[in-house]
Amino acid sequence: LQKRKLVDHHAPNASTGIVNGRSSNVLNWDDTRYSWAYPMYKTMLANFWIPSEINMSNDLKQWPELSAQEQASFKKIIGLLAFLDSIQTDYSGKVADYLTDSSVSALMQVLAFQEVVHNQSYSYVLSTLVDQSEQERIFEYWKHDEILMERNQFITDGYEEFANEPSIDKFLKSVVYDVVLEGLFFYAGFAFFYNLARNQKMVSTSTMINYINRDEQIHVNLFAHIFKETLNENPQLDREWYEDFVTTTFKEAVDLEIKWAHHIIGNEFPGIPIDDLEDYIRFIANKRCKLMGADKPYPEYAENPLKWIRAYQEVDEGKSDFFEQKSRQYTKVSEDNGFDDL
């Protein structure tokens, strides 16, 4: 892959391709190659939020009342999210270097910015609930927890292969690992927080998780666009092979996510029976594969078994009153924000 040039005097402002294309690198939002880019940009801006403005006082009061198991899972999931969003910031920067369309590269910069905000929310939640030394321990779980390490390795291997050999092949594969990370590996953890909120526990934290979830939906859409445009624009690539790669990679990812779900949730929380959670993970994997244009790995799992979870990401649509913060103060535009289903 060719890196995007700092400036190309002989290229048009609207690019000639998503990778290995040409572009002056001057960004005019009204003169871009892909019709989906500017609406996505506006949605991302509309989603802006500042973690430290969310009032954590109720969560702080409830924290000591959580069961030991609830606290342990809460901390493990935050530790996981902090790791994943950190490497995600890094990976998105690497991807941006090779996107030869300056508007898509700009979207990647907005995405990276959002990951930074997500990381602030994990620090903010922990600094409210636990002392500094425990916070630092939680931010190091990823170094010691073996189940966590195994699934993190799955992602980082894919990312590092691309970093070490930035070919179009490794690029496309890394995008699939990205969609696994942003579109699947967060979801057992999200379910845990939404289940707490359903029981009127730790609602402010869950609100932040919901904002993060909302961002991640758009990130998944962005990477799916990049994946499909790259295949469209490079007919020399074996499309079917890459689509199969999506499906098989998601199958492996589902096994890892289920293992993790047993580890952090298991049969400890009656609101999320582990069997339903497993099926939910397969259901999500199907959705992601379909979005990427690939076959569903589990076509028999066509329904979301955790029906109640929908309400937790429909705050924007005014259908939910589960959350304290009913109005999304930063959300000012009315476009569809990419949220269809969890």
Residues 6+ apart with CB under 8 A from 219: 111, 114, 178, 182
* Cβ 179 vs Cβ 287: under 8 Å: no
Q: Does 83 bind its own copies (CB under 8 A)?
A: yes
48 binds its own copies (CB under 8 A): yes
Per the CB < 8 A criterion, the answer to whether 85 and 122 are in contact is yes
Q: Which of 98, 122, 177, 211 is catalytic?
A: 122
Which x/- pattern over 134-163 shows residues binding its own copies (rule: CB under 8 A)? -xx--xx-xx--------x---x--xx--x
**By CB under 8 A, residue 26 contacts its own copies:** yes
Binding range to its own copies, per CB under 8 A, among 80-88, 207-215, 233-241, 245-253:
80-88
Binder of residue 59, out of Ca ion, its own copies, none (CB less than 5 to 8 A by kind): none
173/183 Cα distance (integer angstroms): 15
Q: Does 219 bind Ca ion (CB under 5 A)?
A: yes
**CB-wise, 11 or 274, nearer to its own copies?**
11
Q: Using CB distances below 5 to 8 A depending on partner kind, what does residue 219 bind out of Ca ion, its own copies, none? A: Ca ion
Catalytic residue at 122?
A: yes
Q: Residue 151 interacts with Ca ion (CB under 5 A)?
A: no
What is the signed CA dihedral for 287, 181, 151, 263, rounded to 10 degrees? -70
DSSP tag of 338: S
Question: Could you give the angle at the alpha carbon of 96 between the alpha carbons of 91 and 98, nearest 5°?
Answer: 110
Of the two residues 98 and 269, which places its CB atom closer to its own copies in the complex? 98
Residues 1, 27, 258, 311: which binds its own copies (CB under 8 A)? 27
Q: What is the CA radius of gyration of the chain?
A: 20
Name the residues annotated as catalytic.
Answer: 122
